[in-house]
Structure 1
Amino acid sequence: MHTVVTRAPAAVRPAPDAYAVTAEFYDILQAEADAARVRRLYRRAVASARLGVLDIGAGTGRVTLMSLAESRADVHAVEPSRAMRGALLTRLAALPARQRERVTVHPYPLDRAGPAAVADVAVCHNMVGCLPPAARESLWPGIGTALVSGGSLFLQLPPDRMPARTLVRLLPEQRVGAHTYGGRLTMSPAGYRIRTRADYWVRGAQGVLREHTETFWMWPASRARLTGELARYGFVPLPGHDEPELLAVTLAGPH
């Protein structure tokens, strides 16, 4: 028996894995709806990329794979979660070598050791709401560094306010062989944060085989607030993008 110890420089060491449970269930329960949302929100933008696409919080790879399919640019996928990154790399391993060679996977947060001037399009999908305000503020200059002048950022907006009451959403159950996978998301107001509890289960012929729970925190932020934060780092609104759940800005000044 031997022990393998993985070390990385302090500046690039990944954060503790917050998605160890969810990574197993995310694709089977949410991939179809999420893939459609990704195409609707970002397809036109990534197709216009000439230098590169920066996928911030790549997760299991919906934006990354669409970017490879829709453009010929290089893709930089930023994903600190080991569990999510494992799913992403498994998906990349199934691609032809020529596509795979265009993807660089960064296993650490962008603001800690991010790439410089590698992209003209950046995407933040389903991740900004998971950052507390201080961490969010440190993300913007990292994006500015990774983008070239004139590059654009497309950001899925988080909730703009606290929910007035607890909200529950059931995820459609999915069959995998003899087992059925299911899940439920519960969002509750908790002071200045939103507590999001994810409950997952696997059922067989004899009943429930496994149950798992994972809790996440979210921080609301309005479009106006995010626009103001980004303006301090040289980002201005990008005309022609009026989707209610999307904020589009371009890097127009010093950062």
Structure 2
Amino acid sequence: MHPVITGAPVSRPDPDSYAVTAEFYDILQADRDAARVHDLYGRHVARARLGVLDIGAGTGRVTLMSLAESAVGVHAVEPARAMRTSLLTRLATLPARQRERVTVHPYALDEAALYAAADVAVCHNTVACLSPAARDALWPAIHAALAPGGTLLLEPPPALLPPRDVVRRLPEQRVGAHVYGGRMTMSAAGYRIRTRVDYWVRGGRHVLREHTESFWMWPTSRTRLIDDLARHGFAPLPGHGDPRVLAVTRPAHR
């Protein structure tokens, strides 16, 4: 997850975001997310012949899936230091031949200066947490980074504000004598969604630690997102019917 830390809207994520979430993300959500990214994007990534671009790589679920499913280079873009630390730690455990195929970019994509570097781009669990200004900077950067004929796959943001608070409990996980848990609460706040995540660590019946981190999300209809992408040179990917993913292409000829 790559939202902007609570506060006034800004154009890009703070490099120091996720100081709390980075500790808990993998243990609470990574297994579920690994299965999800394989289901959503695996078959497209397997067809990559030039490179894969992972936008908002986080702790590396799309990056690792891309290494497993393709034989091309992978560009992992992750500006948040805390998430990038987890990503690099994970990459350090890989065999050298796999690790040599990954380049980690510690900037937002519009600062990474990638041009025609990939034919498949994945933006998973990220767009919802970018302000309109950040999205306006992202679309042309993706267009530049994709080779003509390349495909962009992204997880759409929520279309609407939640009518009431939505609470989701994260399944608890045991690590030795301690149990890690969390709860996510999404609530409308003006034209945005405030997502608050409460984390805890228990030892027996006692709560040893509690932490909270909050993020903003910007809801956008699918139609509006398609129109925005069209203005930046993208067209719907023919034959793509999975409603969970918005798939567009950078046409080879315009």
TM norm. shorter chain > 0.5 = yes
CA–CA separation in structure 1 for the residues paired with 2:145 and 2:188: 34
Deviations 1:69-109 (A, max 9, x none): 00001000000011100100011000000000000000010
2:159 equivalent in structure 1: 160
1:118 to 2:103 alignment: no
Letter in 1 for 2:79: P
TM-score scaled to structure 2, two decimals?
0.93
Is contact 1:235–1:253 with CA below 8 Å preserved after alignment?
Answer: no
- Matched residue SS, 2:173: strand
User: Cα offset for 1:205?
Assistant: 2.0
Which AA in structure 1 matches 2:54?
D
Cα deviation digits, residues 28-84 of structure 1 (max 9, x gap): 000111111101100001000000000000000000000000000100000001110
CA contact (8 A) 2:78 2:107 kept: yes
Q: Which amino acid aligns with 1:59?
A: G
Task: Report what 1:142 is aligned to.
Answer: 141
Unmatched runs of 5 consecutive residues or more in structure 1: 1-13
Q: Deviations over 1:122-178 (max 9, x none)?
A: 000000000011111110000011011000000011101100001100000000000
Q: Following TM superposition, where does structure 1 have runs of at least 4 consecutive aligned residues deviating by more than 3 angstroms?
A: none
How far apart are the structure 2 equivalents of 1:183 and 1:15? 23
Q: For the residues of structure 2 that align with 1:240 and 1:151, how far apart are their CA atoms? A: 15
- Give 1:123's aligned amino acid: V
Alignment of 1:213-228 (within 5 A): 213-228=212-227
Give SS of 1:63's match: helix
Conservation of the 8 A alpha-carbon contact between 2:105 and 2:112: no
Letter of the structure 2 residue corresponding to residue 19 of structure 1? Y
Specify the code of the residue in structure 2 equivalent to 1:39.
H
Q: Is the 1:149–1:252 contact (alpha carbons within 8 Å) kept by the matching residues of 2?
A: yes
Aligned to 2:9: none
Name the amino acid aligned to 1:166: D
Give 1:112 shift. 2.2
| Relative contact order, higher structure (CA 8 A, sep 6+) | 2
For 1:160 and 1:61, locate their aligned partners in 2 and report how far apart those are by CA, in whole Å: 26
CA distance in 2, matches of 1:48, 1:187: 36
Q: Which residue number corresponds to residue 95 of structure 1?
A: 94
Count, aligned residues: 243
Report the 3-state secondary structure (helix = DSSP H, G, I; strand = E; otherwise coil) of the residue aligned with 1:244.
Answer: coil
Deviates more, 1:108-117 or 1:92-101: 108-117
Q: How far apart are the structure 1 equivalents of 2:59 and 2:113? A: 20
Residue 148 of structure 2 corresponds to residue 182 of structure 1 = no
Which residue of 1 is the match for residue 104 of structure 2? 105
- Quote the offset at 1:206 in angstroms: 4.7
Structure 1 vs Structure 2 CA RMSD: 1.5
Cα deviation, 1:164-211, whole Å, max 9, x if unaligned, reads: 001100000000000000000000000000000000000002500000
Q: Which runs of 5+ in 2 are unaligned?
A: 1-12
Pairwise CA distance, 1:245: 1.7
The SS at the match of 2:122 is strand
Q: Verify the 8 A CA contact 1:17 1:83 in the aligned structure 2.
A: yes
